A = this chain, B = another copy of it.
Amino acid sequence: MSPRTEEQLIKHKAEKRKVITQAALKLFSEEGFQSTSISKIAKEAGVSKGLIYTYFESKEELLRFLILDTIDEMFGIAEVSLGINPTDESFEKMISDYFDWVQINRAFLQIYFGILMQPSVMKLFEKEIMAKAYNVFERMSVYFKNKGFEDPLSETRFFISILDGIYMNYIMDSENYPLAKAKSRILTMYLK
């Protein structure tokens, strides 16, 4: 209606994408990606079907945006907490941050784990996710190497497997899963 600066336009676009993305996040986690129609997302977001195509090229691109946007945040926790010289303190901090993050981002993780299990959908992200993941592997390996592990990369993958397993079980059965115990258990395991 009124002229805006380019900055305003970009901000506006980012906000609209957020609104749509949030609606999609909720629905994808409840019904799955394939079972959620663009119509439902539009209704949930309070916009028209057509508008979604102004902000995203396709339903898949919407999913890509949703995943890649948040994946950076998720993998970023490791990077930020550990830094270049990981210590026991920073390692413990990282674990703590992840447990906090998971509880807030259950819906996202549900979609994420679901995607990991579908090669045909996973193709959309494979490169990006694997690149970021291996990046994190390396960073953590430094810590395990410092701690004297013979095969730091394998230990890294074992450690991440534990986290993934815990989060997956927590998502599936949030009410009964002993998340706090799992957290202290893994802390004891690695930090004595």
Q: A32-B121, A120-B32, A120-B35 are in contact. Are A181 and B154 (CB under 8 A)?
A: yes
Asked if B160 contacts A32 (CB within 8 A), the reply is: no
The A contact surface, by secondary structure, is: helix
A177 / chain B contacts, CB cutoff of 8 Å: 157
Q: A117-B110, A117-B117 are in contact. Are A154 and B35 (CB under 8 A)?
A: no
Interface, chain A (partner B; CB < 8 A): 29-32, 34-35, 110-111, 113-114, 116-122, 130, 151, 153-155, 157-158, 160-166, 168-169, 171-173, 177-178, 181-182, 185, 189
20 more contacts with CB within 8 A, not counting A114-B117, A117-B171, A163-B165, are A29-B119, A31-B119, A32-B117, A34-B35, A114-B114, A114-B118, A116-B172, A117-B168, A117-B172, A122-B172, A151-B181, A153-B178, A154-B181, A155-B185, A157-B169, A157-B177, A161-B182, A162-B162, A165-B168, A168-B168
